[in-house]
């Protein structure tokens, strides 16, 4: 993934918050993994939560490998593995020379939307999968279907110079179009592709909202270039826009996703 992952530092600092936020997405993906799988590759594994969850499901005799371009996130993932059998690799999964047919399952939680050349990347992942092996990935649907993800940038309009969301190139919503996902998989040589809508309930502690707003997404990345006073002013301005997502001591929203499945 040659897409510049400028948000890696934020993912490391907010690891616990983000793991809580996406816990049900993780559960969805792990449930899709064949319990008989002997080797699984988790693409865009980040700080390792999904890879570790898959390893817990499959047990010590399965090989579970997480791959990500971020050295920071992989370093944290390795610390979390604490010497266990899970492997973590710093690499561009779309180009890395995995052993042909090495994996039974290619899995990903929000990690495959950042390839600059997705057809080539998915062809590379297919080569790494044994014949009859499977792909299981969760990606985002259209941004307007998950308003939580764009509320901060809308509320900060006029306060920060933010680039427009790009749904045609690498990025969070690159696979929002179901037809594009099917076309990419077909071009990459995957068979029996299915892209099904799933809505997943997400939540995290309301006490973490300010840290999230000041760190994640386009607003968080823009604020990294500002001083503490400016950051606090923007967060103060943006926070009320999230009142509709606050429920007591939690922030809750529904993640509109595609569950992607295919066969090598």
**Using an 8 Å Cβ cutoff, are 264 and 126 in contact?**
yes
**Using an 8 Å Cβ cutoff, are 119 and 184 in contact?**
yes
Over range 142-152, report the average pLDDT. 97
Residue 128 falls within a domain, yes or no?
yes
- Give Rg (Cα) of the chain: 18
What whole-number distance in Å separates Cα of residue 156 and Cα of residue 159?
A: 5
> H or E stretch including 166?
none
Residue 228 falls within a domain, yes or no?
no
Residue 153 falls within a domain, yes or no?
no
Residue 231 falls within a domain, yes or no?
no
Mean pLDDT across the chain, nearest whole number?
94
Over range 77-88, report the average pLDDT. 90
Q: How many domains does the chain have?
A: 1
Report DSSP state, residue 160. Answer: B
Q: pLDDT at position 44, please?
A: 97
Global pTM? 0.94
Measured CA distances, 97 to 48, 65, 170, 263 (Å): 21, 14, 21, 20
- pLDDT of 56 above 70: yes
Per-residue pLDDT tens digits for 188-204 = 999 999 999 999 999 99
Share of the chain above pLDDT 70, in %: 97
Per-residue pLDDT tens digits for 190-242 = 999 999 999 999 999 999 999 999 999 999 989 988 889 989 999 999 999 99
Domain span at 89: 8-143+166-203+253-263
């Amino acid at each position: 993934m040659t897409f510049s992952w400028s948000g890696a530092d934020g993912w490391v600092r907010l690891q616990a918050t983000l793991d809580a936020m996406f816990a049900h997405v993780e559960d969805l993906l792990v449930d899709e993994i064949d319990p008989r799988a002997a080797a699984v590759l988790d693409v865009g594994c980040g700080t390792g939560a999904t890879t570790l969850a898959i390893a817990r499901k499959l047990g010590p005799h399965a090989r579970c490998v997480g791959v990500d371009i971020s050295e920071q996130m992989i370093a944290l993932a390795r610390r979390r593995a604490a010497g266990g059998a899970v492997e973590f690799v710093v690499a561009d999964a779309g180009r890395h020379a995995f052993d042909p047919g090495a994996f039974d399952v290619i899995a990903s939680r929000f990690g495959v939307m950042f390839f600059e050349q997705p057809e080539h990347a998915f062809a590379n992942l297919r080569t790494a999968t044994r014949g009859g092996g499977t792909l299981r990935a969760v990606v985002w649907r259209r941004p307007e279907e998950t308003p939580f993800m764009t509320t901060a940038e809308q509320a900060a309009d006029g306060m920060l110079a933010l680039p427009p969301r790009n749904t045609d190139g690498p990025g969070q919503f690159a696979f929002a179009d179901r037809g594009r996902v099917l076309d990419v998989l077909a071009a990459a040589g995957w068979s029996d592709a299915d892209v099904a809508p799933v809505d997943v309930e997400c939540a995290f502690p309301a006490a973490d909202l300010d840290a999230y707003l000041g760190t994640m997404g386009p607003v968080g990345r823009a604020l990294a270039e500002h001083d503490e006073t400016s950051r606090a002013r923007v967060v103060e301005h943006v926070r009320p826009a999230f009142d509709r997502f606050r429920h007591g001591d939690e922030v809750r929203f529904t993640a509109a996703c595609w569950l992607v499945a295919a066969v090598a």
